[in-house]
Amino acid sequence: MKKLLLFVLVGLPLIANAASPSPSDSLLKVLRAEIARKSIYDKQKDEQIAALRQKLYAKQPSDLMAKYNATLGLFEAFKDYRFDSTFHYAQQLVDISVQLHDNSKLAENRLRLGTTLITSGMFKETFDCLREVKRRWLDKQLKKSYYVLYSWAWSDLSKYNADRFYAPEDRERKYRYLDSAIALADSGSFEQLILKAQQQPNIGPHPSRYYMELMNRKLSAHEEAMVVTGLSRYRTGDEKLRLLAIAAINDVRTSTYRAQAMLELGNALFDRGRLDDAYFFLQQALDQANKFGARMQRYQVARALPVVAAERDMSAKRERQHFLIFLASVVVITIITGLVGFIIFVQLKKVRAGERVIRETNRLLAKQNNMLWEEGRIKEEYIGFFFSELSRHIVKLDKLKNQVHRKVKSGSFDEALRQLENVDIHEERQRLFNTFDQVFLKLFPDFIEAVNAMLPEEDQFKPKAAGTLTTQLRILALMRLGINNNEMIANILEYTVNTVYTYRFRLRTKALIPGDDFEQRIMGIEIATE
C-alpha cells in the first residue's frame, strides 16, 4: 500500500511532465516540417536568381555601371546559398572594378572575394586576398569590413587548428582586429552590437547582454537567426535547443546554407543524450555544408557525426543486449522443458510400446511442417532463429571442448584428450555456412540477382560455385532474415565487428540507390512462393 501511494505521489507527476512536450520539442517538429518543405523555398530562391540573371543579360556590355549593379545583385543573392556562384560573381565584380578604374570599388570587391573564400574555409586564399587590398583606398566603412574579415579569418583558423600552440595566438589576433572593427562601427547599430557580443571573454559586459538588446529590435529572419545562434552559446538545456531551433527554421525558410545553427543544434542534442535527433540534424548540417560548399563546416560536421553515429549504435546495441538476455532466458526454459518432455516421451515409449504415439506424433509434425511451409513469414523467422541458435550452439561446444580439455589434462586422461582433439569446430561452422547458403537460396532464389541490380556492374557479386554465397552476400542474407546486429553477425560468421561494419558501409556507399534505402531494399526482397 505504501509503494502504491509513493507511485501516486511521485510517479504520476513525472508521467504528466513527460507527456507534455517542451517548447523546444514543438519547435523541433516545426523544423522537421520546414526541412521537408525546403525544396519549395529553394525554388523561390532560384526563381529570384533567374530574374536577376535575366537583368544582367539584358544589360549592354558597354554599360559597365549597369553591369556592375546587376552583378552585385546576383552576388548578394548567392552569398549564403551557393559558394561557387558567389565566388564567380565576386571575381566578376573585381574585374568590372578594374575596368571602371575605381580603386575604392576594387578594394570593396576584394573584401567581398575574401569574405566568400573564408566561408568555404580557404584560409590561405583569404589572407592572400586581404594582402592585396590597399588600405589607402578604404573609407571608414570599408576599413571596418577589412578588420571584420581579418577577425573572421583568424577566428576560423583557430577553430581549425584547435591546438595549444597556434590556436591561442590566432584568437589573440582575432580579438585585436575585432576591437578595431568595433571602433569604426556606428554606435548602437546592429553591426556594432553583434561585434561586441564576440569580444574577448571577461572584458566588458557579458556577451548575452548585447544579444538580448538586439532581440528587442525588429530584425529580419536572417538577422534573427544570427542573434539567437549567438545567444544560444550562453544558454543551456531546453532554452538552448529552443533558440537553435528558431535559428535553423529561419535558415531553412531563407535558403541560407552558410549557417551554423543546424550543426550546433545537432551537437546540443547529442549533449542532451538525444542521439536519434542529433544524428538527423547533423546529417542536415552536412547537407547544408555540401550544398553551399563550405569546407570549414564540412570539417566540423565530419568530426561530430561519426561520434554521434557510434554512440547511437552503442545505445541500440545495449537495448538489443537487454532483449537478448530476456530471449536467452526464454530459450533456456524452452530447452529444459523440451528435455524433460523428451525424457517423459522416451519413458512412455518404453512402458506403453509407443508405436501409436510415434505415428501420431509424426502425423502432427507433418501437419505442422505443412503449415510452416504455407506461411512465409513464420518460415523466415524460424529459419533465421535456427541458424542463429545453431551458431551459438557451436560456440558453446567450442567452449565446452576447451573446459573439458583443461580438466582432463589436469587428470592425465590422455585418451580423452585425443578424442576431444577430433572435434573440428571449423568444419562444423563451414558445414553450417554451406547448409545456410543452400537453404537460403532455396527460399530466396533471386536474392543474388536482386542485390546485383542495386550495384554497379563492376561491383556485382559472382559466387565461385552455384548454390553458394560470398562473405558480403552472407552478411546481407543474415540481415534479410532479421539478424541486423553487427556483433551477432560477426559471431555467426566468425569475423570481427569492425569487419562486418566495414563490409556494410562499403556496400551502402557503392550502391546505385541512396545509402539509407539500400538495407531497406534488402529487407524487401521477397521469399519464393511454393
Rounded distance between C-alpha atoms, residue 524 and residue 455, angstroms: 16
Instruction: Please indicate, yes or no, if residue 500 is contained in any of the structural domains.
Output: yes
Q: Quick check: 277 and 244 in contact, CB under 8 A? A: no
Instruction: Please indicate, yes or no, if residue 187 is contained in any of the structural domains.
Output: no
CA distances from 444 to 395, 450, 452, 464, 530 (A): 27, 10, 14, 18, 11
Instruction: Please indicate, yes or no, if residue 407 is contained in any of the structural domains.
Output: yes
Q: Which of 143-157, 311-325, 350-364, 366-380 has the lowest mean pLDDT?
A: 366-380
Return the exposure string of 12-50: e unless at least 16 CB atoms fall within 10 Å of the residue's CB, then b. Answer: eeeeeeeeeeeebbebbeebeebbeebeebeeebeeebe
pLDDT at 374: 39
pLDDT at 403: 66
The total domain count for the chain is: 1
Condensed to tens digits (0 to 9), the pLDDT of residues 270-308 reads 999 999 998 999 999 889 888 888 777 787 788 888 888
Rounded distance between C-alpha atoms, residue 490 and residue 488, angstroms: 5
Residue 144: partners with Cβ closer than 8 Å, 6 or more residues away: 181, 184, 185, 191
Among 96-110, 346-360, 442-456, the range with the most confident prediction by mean pLDDT is 96-110
pLDDT at 104: 93
Long-range contacts (CB closer than 8 Å, 24 or more residues apart) made by 368-372: none
Residue with C-alpha cell 578595431? 180
Q: Residue 436's domain spans which residues?
A: 375-523
- Per-residue pLDDT, averaged over 212-223, amounts to 89
Task: State the number of CA atoms in the 13 A half-sphere of 514 facing the CB.
Answer: 3
Query: Where is 123: in which H helix or E strand?
Result: helix 123-131
Residue 144: band (very low, low, confident or very high) from pLDDT cuts 50, 70, 90: very high
Instruction: Please indicate, yes or no, if residue 391 is contained in any of the structural domains.
Output: yes
pLDDT of residue 22 exceeding 70: yes
Instruction: Please indicate, yes or no, if residue 470 is contained in any of the structural domains.
Output: yes
pLDDT at 126: 92
Helices 515-523 and 471-480 cross at an angle (nearest 10°) of 70
DSSP 405-420: HHHHHHTT-HHHHHHH
Mean pLDDT, the chain, whole residue set: 81
Nearest to 155 by CA among 123, 112, 109, 131: 123
Q: Quick check: 93 and 112 in contact, CB under 8 A? A: yes
Instruction: Please indicate, yes or no, if residue 274 is contained in any of the structural domains.
Output: no
The pTM of the full predicted model, rounded to 2 decimals, is 0.56
pLDDT of residue 46 exceeding 90: yes
CA distances from 242 to 33, 232, 266, 366, 390 (A): 16, 8, 12, 62, 51
Instruction: Please indicate, yes or no, if residue 306 is contained in any of the structural domains.
Output: no
Rounded distance between C-alpha atoms, residue 447 and residue 454, angstroms: 11
Residue 328: band (very low, low, confident or very high) from pLDDT cuts 50, 70, 90: low
Instruction: Please indicate, yes or no, if residue 497 is contained in any of the structural domains.
Output: yes
More confidently predicted of 294 and 194: 194
